[in-house]
Structure 1
Amino acid sequence: MTGFFHETAFCGSDDEFLAIAVPFVEGGLRAGQPTLIACAEKNTALLRGALSDDDAVTYLPGADQYARPADAIASYRDIFGGLAKAGATQIRTIGDVPHPGYGVPWDWWGRYENAANQAYAEFPLWGLCPYDTRITPPEVLADVARTHEYIATAAGEHLPNPDFGNGLLLGRPVPDVLEQGAPRVSLVNPTPAAVREAVHAAIAGTRLAEDSAHDVVYAASEIVTNGLSHGVAPVRFRLWADDSRVVVTVTDQGRGPADPLAGLMPTAATRSAGLGLWILHRTCDYVSMARDEDGFTVRVSVGGSDQAA
């Protein structure tokens, strides 16, 4: 197999994972192909114990590589571009994409899996994304099937996936626990300047670090600007906060962006609004873009228990 291949595997046991992953890695090593592993700790340990030539593999810490989807894309594109420039005609990767089974919200990672079909298509990449069916929710498995063109099996097959279909994948909206209370700020069709002023006042008593406070103000202003410029009125802004964390939502009545890469990487069309979305995807702790009966909502979260006073 040469060219770009985005493949998944559904594993119901550790043995099944190894039956798929070990031949994949060793096949790349035999062919002299750069081979990278960015798995969670458990799968990394399984592979280290099973591989016959462990030293020839490049290990990327999974938690660092998959900290944020936009960061993962930027990092991988740098790596793949460097390897291709150095003469690699095929690159192999195997990585554990975060999901609720690892305690991580899925929707922006679901968008990542969809965006990968464009973000990495220019590289000679064969990427394998295994999912453990013991811990992966059914709705996540359904999204995974939609976003991978091929499926690997423990029998050594690499099969075309009949469920694969490109197109925008927006996550299912999952309200933050802070949204169970009344918002500190609720505005309809506000100007970006009014939002910045309201956010400054609302977070003044929190323990957010200075950089995090700046990120909240920037994100709120940027999302409202996008809603007013590209959405359908009314545009509703809301903010919730506790001592160390802030959640912002902006809802309009439009359909949301038509580009699967929106916010996940800079493109030729991101000089204005899209560039701002990309920046907040690389600074906020969580970003979701979803639609439901209330409209299209962008949700961001910034901060946590480790924030300084």
Structure 2
Amino acid sequence: MQVDWTTTGGAGRPAPGGFPHDALLYDSTEQLVALAAPFLRAGLAEGDAAVVATRPDTAAALREALDDDPRLQVVERHAVYRPRTPEAITTFRRLAEQCTAAGAGRVRVVGEADYGRTERDWLEWERYESVINRALSGWNLWGLCAFDTRQLPDPVLESAGRTHSRLVTADGRVPSPSYTDPAAYLRTLPIPDEPLERTPPRLAAADVRDFIGLRHAVAAELAGVPAGADLVDDFLLAVDEMASNAVRHGLPPVSLRLWTGADRIVCTITDGGPGWDDPFAGYGPAHGSDLSRGGMGLWLARQLCDHVDIAGGDHHPGGETVSVRLTTFLR
């Protein structure tokens, strides 16, 4: 059965606008090209922009299948799927703005994220794949995400069906039977363990009130960390933002703990509540494009740190507290 990749009428074919988010699980380059090339070709025929952000070998095969069509945009995947997932969201939004401003009807993307090598990395990208169902809704994008079943671990492959509303196979473009509402799915994801938290912190501050003094104390502890000044400054800014958020929006007491390890620095900021239940927080400014209204603290922290984990509500049975954990790897 050949997939109908047009956007005009017909069951299962998305209308312009929104964010169709499809998954293609493949076990050979030939299989990927057979399903993805028609998606791109149909888009070009309809006046859509066609973008490929995959491994170089995959991109080369798709370019060849489209006869080196100059309209096909091949982007180095790490320029799109940046290490910090909110940056990838921003990149796709910018891409949509640029292409539609140039007259494209929709931007079709064949994407292939680098899921990394650790369970911690996998979890971050699984979260991203669910978040973008909402974060990219209305941005006139159509994503076809490729998953290589020969190389990706089972948890990542299993998550593909839960984070993509449709699957693309030789039998057609069909609803994913395991697709889960993003908010519900995100709430099921675990908060990764951090072994450093089981060791004495390098710095512990209780009942934080003096932000200037706190920043100086954190900076002093990080002065000997073998990392570039920009990395440390970014981490300090994220700590500032989260401590300020805790005081403004949480309840006292606000506390901070800081750890330094051989390969990373970790800081947790905790306040007295009243709990947390927004799994999409920090993947964009809280008030959208109106930056004058603030609400950028957590969004900035997610871009300044490698990982931001939020525990609150159900993660703290018996107590109403919120804890934000910031992690940055030393490079």
> How high is the TM-score relative to the length of structure 2?
0.77
Name which of structure 1's ranges 243-252 and 141-150 shifts more when overlaid on structure 2. Answer: 243-252
Following TM superposition, by how much is the alpha carbon of 1:44 offset from its aligned partner in structure 2, in angstroms? 2.5
1:276 to 286, 297, 302: 297
Q: Is the aligned partner of 1:226 residue 2:245?
A: yes
Change (3 A) 1:216 1:249: same
Q: Is the aligned partner of 1:211 residue 2:209?
A: no
Following TM superposition, by how much is the alpha carbon of 1:80 offset from its aligned partner in structure 2, in angstroms? 0.6
2:54 aligned residue: 39
1:301 aligned residue: 327
Q: Give the conservation status (yes or no) of the 8 Å contact 2:308–2:327.
A: yes
Distance in 2 of aligned mates of 1:271 and 1:108: 29
Distance in 1 of aligned mates of 2:268 and 2:210: 14
* Alignment-mate amino acid for residue 127 of structure 1: G
Change (3 A) 1:175 1:254: farther
Structure 2 portions without partners, runs of 5+:
1-6, 8-14
Change (3 A) 1:264 1:238: same
Change (3 A) 1:100 1:173: farther
Q: Is the aligned partner of 1:175 residue 2:185?
A: no
Q: Give the conservation status (yes or no) of the 8 Å contact 1:237–1:249.
A: yes
Name which of structure 1's ranges 44-53 and 127-136 shifts more when overlaid on structure 2. Answer: 44-53
1:110 aligned residue: 126
* Alignment-mate amino acid for residue 228 of structure 2: A
Give the match's secondary structure for 1:215. Answer: helix
Following TM superposition, by how much is the alpha carbon of 1:255 offset from its aligned partner in structure 2, in angstroms? 4.3
Change (3 A) 1:299 1:20: farther
Distance in 2 of aligned mates of 1:103 and 1:226: 29
1:94 aligned residue: 110
Distance in 1 of aligned mates of 2:118 and 2:107: 27
Give the match's secondary structure for 1:167. Answer: helix
Following TM superposition, by how much is the alpha carbon of 1:278 offset from its aligned partner in structure 2, in angstroms? 1.4
Q: Is the aligned partner of 1:186 residue 2:204?
A: yes
Structure 1 portions without partners, runs of 5+:
none
1:247 aligned residue: 266
Q: Is the aligned partner of 1:6 residue 2:21?
A: yes
Distance in 2 of aligned mates of 1:246 and 1:228: 23
Distance in 1 of aligned mates of 2:304 and 2:293: 17
Q: Is the aligned partner of 1:18 residue 2:2?
A: no
Change (3 A) 1:254 1:18: farther
Q: Give the conservation status (yes or no) of the 8 Å contact 2:242–2:301.
A: no
Q: Give the conservation status (yes or no) of the 8 Å contact 1:36–1:92.
A: yes
Give the match's secondary structure for 1:248. Answer: strand
RMSD: 3.1
CA distances 1:267-301 after superposition (whole Å, capped 9, x unpaired): 42776673011122222233334567457543323
1:58 aligned residue: 73
Following TM superposition, by how much is the alpha carbon of 1:212 offset from its aligned partner in structure 2, in angstroms? 1.8
Following TM superposition, by how much is the alpha carbon of 1:35 offset from its aligned partner in structure 2, in angstroms? 0.3
* Alignment-mate amino acid for residue 78 of structure 1: R
Q: Is the aligned partner of 1:288 residue 2:306?
A: no
Following TM superposition, by how much is the alpha carbon of 1:14 offset from its aligned partner in structure 2, in angstroms? 3.2
2:257 to 238, 244, 260: 238
Higher RCO (CA-CA < 8 Å; seq separation 6+): 1
2:221 aligned residue: 202
CA distances 1:1-29 after superposition (whole Å, capped 9, x unpaired): 23231111222343332332222222223
Distance in 2 of aligned mates of 1:96 and 1:192: 45
Distance in 2 of aligned mates of 1:99 and 1:79: 21
Distance in 1 of aligned mates of 2:100 and 2:195: 44
CA distances 1:91-110 after superposition (whole Å, capped 9, x unpaired): 21111133245887134433
State the structure with more CA Rg: 2
Q: Give the conservation status (yes or no) of the 8 Å contact 1:208–1:303.
A: no
1:130 aligned residue: 146
Change (3 A) 1:184 1:108: same
CA distances 1:61-104 after superposition (whole Å, capped 9, x unpaired): 11121112222222221221122233322221111133245887
CA distances 1:110-152 after superposition (whole Å, capped 9, x unpaired): 3322332233222332111122233333433444333322211
Fraction of identical pairs, as percent: 31
